[in-house]
């Protein structure tokens, strides 16, 4: 017959194991049914119809020395393979394509179903900031479009 010592570990180890099983189910449910903030309004830019969706309402984070904010861009009209390069930035005005080409931050990547981007962002948002999308096609024609920054982005950081 085993002698069990009456200590804290022996008293609560089954409850802790049960809690771990519940937490696994909770995190699995969260990963299967993620909740995203509302999508920004769909806009047309030339042959494209684009809907940006932010991944969260968190402030920008530091990624490889650049503040970034993650988005998913859905192209519901137009062919993504007609795009030579495209960048998403957040600021008071769009960054020139020549500046954006110097690095890999802010460039769209993904498939025809969705383009993910780590948008170049300032450290903190303000009401003057906009979300800028710059697209260059294979004929080297540039198009720029912007969305106003949702108020929830900069109201939570102040």
**pLDDT, tens only, 28-48:** 999 999 888 899 999 999 889
Per-residue DSSP letter, 107? B
The CA-based dihedral angle spanning residues 92, 107, 101, 122, taken in that order and rounded to the nearest 10 degrees: 30
* Buried residues in 7-45 as b, exposed as e (16+ CB within 10 A): eeeeeeeeeeeeeeeeeeeeeeeeeeeeeeeeebeeeeb
In sign, the C-alpha dihedral spanning 76, 51, 100, 139 is positive
Q: Is the pLDDT of residue 79 over 70?
A: yes
At residue 116 the predicted structure's pLDDT band, cuts being 50, 70 and 90, is: very high
Q: What is the chain's alpha carbon radius of gyration, rounded to the nearest angstrom? A: 22
Token pair in block for residue 99: 């500046």
pLDDT number for residue 2: 73
pLDDT number for residue 21: 95
**Domains of the chain, each with CATH number or no CATH:** 43-153 (2.60.40)
**pLDDT, tens only, 5-35:** 888 888 899 999 999 999 999 999 999 998 8
Total residue length of the chain:
158
Token pair in block for residue 53: 């969706």
What is the percent of the chain where pLDDT is above 90?
61
Residues 6+ apart with CB under 8 A from 53: 36, 37, 39, 40, 71, 72, 73, 74
- The model's pTM is 0.78
């Amino acid at each position: 017959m085993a002698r069990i010592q009456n200590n804290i570990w022996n008293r609560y180890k089954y409850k802790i194991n049960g809690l771990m099983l519940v937490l696994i189910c909770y995190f699995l449910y969260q990963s299967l049914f993620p909740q995203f903030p509302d999508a920004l309004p769909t806009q047309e830019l030339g042959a494209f119809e684009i809907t940006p969706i932010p991944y969260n309402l968190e402030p920008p984070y530091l990624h490889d020395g650049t503040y970034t904010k993650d988005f998913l861009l859905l192209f519901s009209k137009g062919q993504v393979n007609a795009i030579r390069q495209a960048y998403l930035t957040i600021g008071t005005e769009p960054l020139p394509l020549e500046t954006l080409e110097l690095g890999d931050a802010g460039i769209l990547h993904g498939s025809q179903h969705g383009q993910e981007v780590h948008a170049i962002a300032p450290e903190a948002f303000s009401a003057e900031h906009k979300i800028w999308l710059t697209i260059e096609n294979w004929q080297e024609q540039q198009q720029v479009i912007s969305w106003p920054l949702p108020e929830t982005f900069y109201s939570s950081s102040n």
